[in-house]
Amino acid sequence: MFIDSVVDQWKEKTQDPAFAAVTEWKERTGNKVAGYFPVYTPMELIYACGMLPVGLTGAGNKLEIINADARFGSFICSIAKSTMELGMRNNLSPFDVIFFQSICDTARNLAFLFKRNFEPDLSIEYIHFPQNMDSAAALEFLITEYQRVLRKMEGLTGKIVEAEDIRRSIRLYNQNRAWIRELNSFRQNHPQSISASEMYILLKAGHFMSPEEHTVLLIHVLSDLQQRKVTMRDTIRVVLEGSFCEQPPLELLQALDEAGCYVVDDDLLLGRRWYESDVAVTGDPIHALAEAYIEKSVYSSVRHDMKRTRTEGLLKKVHAANADAVVFCIAKFCEPAFFDYVLLKGALEREQVPHLLVEFEEKMWTFEKARTEIETFVESLLFD
């Protein structure tokens, strides 16, 4: 089937620490490439400048960390170390600029480590997102910041970006997010037809192609999935939560599939489906993007919004997906995720929603302990 060949192809490309797919795109188009550290970066502005926005999610367990440990303390998440290792081994040479944001203290400090070690050969930019969404100044602050970032990219590309360029980019990403929502909806209704690992690979493939190309891929995949014949198994429906920044190894997602979990929703690669609804394509497009960030963003541990709490967001997700349980898949030393875990755990217990915590790191090589924990959890719910 088409989906099988696509998953096999992109499984290798998305885990390639040499970024051969990025180099191929750059050589094919002659355009520049912008990397962005998770969780969210305004891809629409990057693409409007003619650059390919590529999500940087570390190196997984495909790269041994030899050099980067000397730049960090001991209690630092794996994604920061492996991303630094990529830079120190010159694996990030296809990139022209890399964007960082205030995900956490580690991400903020990583940006300045990159500046110290890799500029001027690699341009490093830090996007300051508003931290108080209730402030009357938040919108104007973000508009000004987006304008600054746009001027920086115009300087890199030599292209003057018009408002219609940004509107076109917004339309393309709106369409792409719409098809991602369609794929997620299909998964919720037919979880036996697409595994968590397949869903992840298909979504991550969008990191390495234009939004138009990725949308065409998703359309073909959805058509193919509707013809897939799969037998239902004894499983539970779970929401996967806590992997919004560092991504779990693919083998861990496969362990979830094999242990009897139908993952019906998750927060993996969250930046690719950041908005709950379309961004407006009328009026000032930078204003529309800034307003969408403040008013339409999904809940996340890296974004504080008193009007829409993260506990309410998780419970809404669980009920919408008709999930039986939540599996917290949290990276080792991820402070935002572990801080939120206490609140989210309490909310689930009040609603009597079963949950399990599985800790991971990129450098995981064996998964038997996690597999046993997940299997025990599934069996406790299936045969209670």
CA atoms within 13 A on the CB side of 187: 29
The residues facing 99 across adjacent strands are 36, 125
Q: Per-residue pLDDT tens for 71-87?
A: 888 889 999 999 999 99
Domains of the chain: residue spans and CATH: 26-159 (3.40.50.11890)
Structural contact between residues 300 and 244, judged by C-beta atoms closer than 8 angstroms? yes
Q: Per-residue pLDDT tens for 221-265?
A: 999 999 998 888 889 999 999 999 999 999 999 999 999 999 999
Give the pLDDT score at 383. 86
State the Cα–Cα distance between residues 286 and 284, nearest whole angstrom: 6
The model's confidence at residue 334, banded by pLDDT at 50, 70 and 90, is: very high
- Does the pLDDT at position 376 exceed 80? yes
- Does the pLDDT at position 378 exceed 90? yes
Structural contact between residues 268 and 240, judged by C-beta atoms closer than 8 angstroms? yes
Structural contact between residues 157 and 50, judged by C-beta atoms closer than 8 angstroms? yes
| DSSP state letter for 33 | E
The model's confidence at residue 142, banded by pLDDT at 50, 70 and 90, is: very high
The better pLDDT of the pair 155, 307 is held by: 155
Cβ-count burial of 199 within 10 angstroms (0-12 exposed, 13-18 middle, 19+ buried)?
buried
Give the pLDDT score at 235. 94
**What is the separation, in whole angstroms, between the first and last Cα of the chain?**
38
State the Cα–Cα distance between residues 69 and 63, nearest whole angstrom: 13
| DSSP state letter for 100 | E
The better pLDDT of the pair 82, 306 is held by: 82
Q: How confident is the model over 279-284, as a mean pLDDT?
A: 97
Give the pLDDT score at 364. 84
Angle between the 105-118 and 78-88 helix axes, to the nearest 10 degrees?
A: 10
